[in-house]
Amino acid sequence: MGLRNSLNIQVENYKMFLENSLNAKEQFGWIEVICGSMFSGKTEELIRRLKRSQFANQKIAIFKPSIDLRYEDEMIISHDHNQIQSTSVPAAANIPILADGCDVVGIDEAQFFDNEIIQVCNHLANSGIRVIVAGLDMDYQGNPFGPMPALMATAEYVTKVHAICTRTGNLAHYSFRTSSDQNLVHLGEKESYEPLSRAAFYKAKQKSKKKTKKDNESSGVCNVFEFISTGPN
């Protein structure tokens, strides 16, 4: 059996395991985290799991941070244009009230929520709700992103999905920002981000640092010439 077939079987078994029924005597829920880089299929997998629950006539509620304005306010839409109805909320504290009476709660772009999302997810799970969370595990600099590390630590199940590196063809788990914006939160698609492997990400960061250093040195030289030509104020 080839490695790819073996991995596919393991993944399918893992997905089936996530949907085991609850012990009737202990009505506790659980937390599932789907994480990875940009273009890795996080939202696609979130939608897949939620639609299975819908088909089973389970009551679901889906939330996303109102800061994410890339698509429609009342829809979660994947890069492949699969979609499911959702509710935009300004803060994690809004979720428990709106999720009252649900069997399953889905949360997309969890990295953009405040740290209260950790407590909210655990509260929902302790109330017997299945909580499915999707989000970027690392920011554009390759650092752990917002509340995601704590969500991954407290979740029963963590699925890390991968994109394909645009430069090497290997598995990619970094989101390299191709724009010059250095803000931590920068909403964008293919025009702003590129999925890279570890090796490609390291090389791209080194190249970016050299360019920044060169630009700063050039700027310093220009400032010196300007000072000489105009003199001190």
Active site residues: 109
Residues 109, 115, 116, 119, Cα dihedral to 10°: 90
Alpha carbon 197 to chain centroid, angstroms: 17
Per DSSP (E only), the strands in the chain are 30-36, 60-65, 75-77, 83-85, 87-89, 104-107, 130-136, 157-161, 163-164, 171-172, 174-177, 193-196
Rounded to whole angstroms, how far apart are CA atoms 133 and 131? Answer: 6
